[in-house]
């Protein structure tokens, strides 16, 4: 191997690129394999050593927060729309995240257990509280529906997601079927 063939260690200059690679790998693997995917698999997928991963993200929760903060940003942007349709878009995107990135819900559960000051549940509740009343006033949501009911339905959908493995229908179809039972 000639000196030109060897990768050079860029040290601190590579920090931003390494962080971005870790986040991209984590986003993919958390979606594909769930919240408890080995961190070593994320480091390998990102092309960095585990030490580099831990330097950027000392705990699994630190990494998950960095990945899933984008999800909250997206939900908050949807809720910022004051139109009656915002609730429907928020609910639809929340279900998409629950089905496609169930690791998002697992991270919230882990954060509730391990971080007494974690406010993700309240953040989500505030988004529903902001969007549900205009939808109800416009006749787009049942007047009997409460924000707590919405979050309960989301938790039920998550339960379907984690128990639907190996079913012949898609997970999303199973979630939609389960939620249709509630609407009936």
For range 59-81, the mean pLDDT: 88
- Residue 13 pLDDT level (bands cut at 50, 70, 90): low
Q: The whole model's pTM is what?
A: 0.75
- What are the distances in angstroms from CA 177 to CA 65, 103, 108? 31, 22, 25
Distance CA 57, CA 23 (A): 10
The token duo for 184 is 């009936």
The gap from C-alpha 162 to its chain's centroid, in whole angstroms, comes to 14
pLDDT at 100: 77
CB 93 within 8 A of CB 75: yes
3-state secondary structure of 58: coil
CA-based diameter of the chain, in Å? 72
């Amino acid at each position: 191997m000639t000196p030109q063939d060897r990768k050079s260690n860029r040290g601190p200059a590579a920090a931003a690129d390494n962080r971005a690679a870790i986040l991209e790998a984590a986003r993919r693997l958390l979606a594909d394999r769930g919240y408890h995917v080995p961190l070593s698999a994320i480091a390998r997928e990102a092309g960095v050593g585990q030490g580099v991963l831990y330097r950027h993200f000392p705990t699994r929760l630190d990494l998950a927060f960095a990945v899933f903060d984008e999800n909250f940003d997206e939900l908050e942007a949807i809720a910022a729309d004051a139109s009656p349709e915002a609730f429907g878009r928020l609910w639809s995107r929340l279900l998409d995240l629950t089905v496609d990135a169930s690791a998002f819900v697992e991270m919230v559960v882990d954060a509730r257990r391990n971080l007494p000051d974690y406010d993700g549940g309240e953040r989500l509740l505030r988004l529903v509280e902001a969007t549900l009343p205009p939808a109800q006033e416009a006749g787009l949501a049942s007047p009997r529906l409460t924000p707590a009911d919405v979050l309960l339905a989301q938790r039920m959908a998550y339960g379907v997601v984690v128990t639907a493995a190996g079913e012949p229908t898609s997970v999303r179809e199973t979630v939609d079927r389960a939620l249709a039972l509630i609407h009936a």
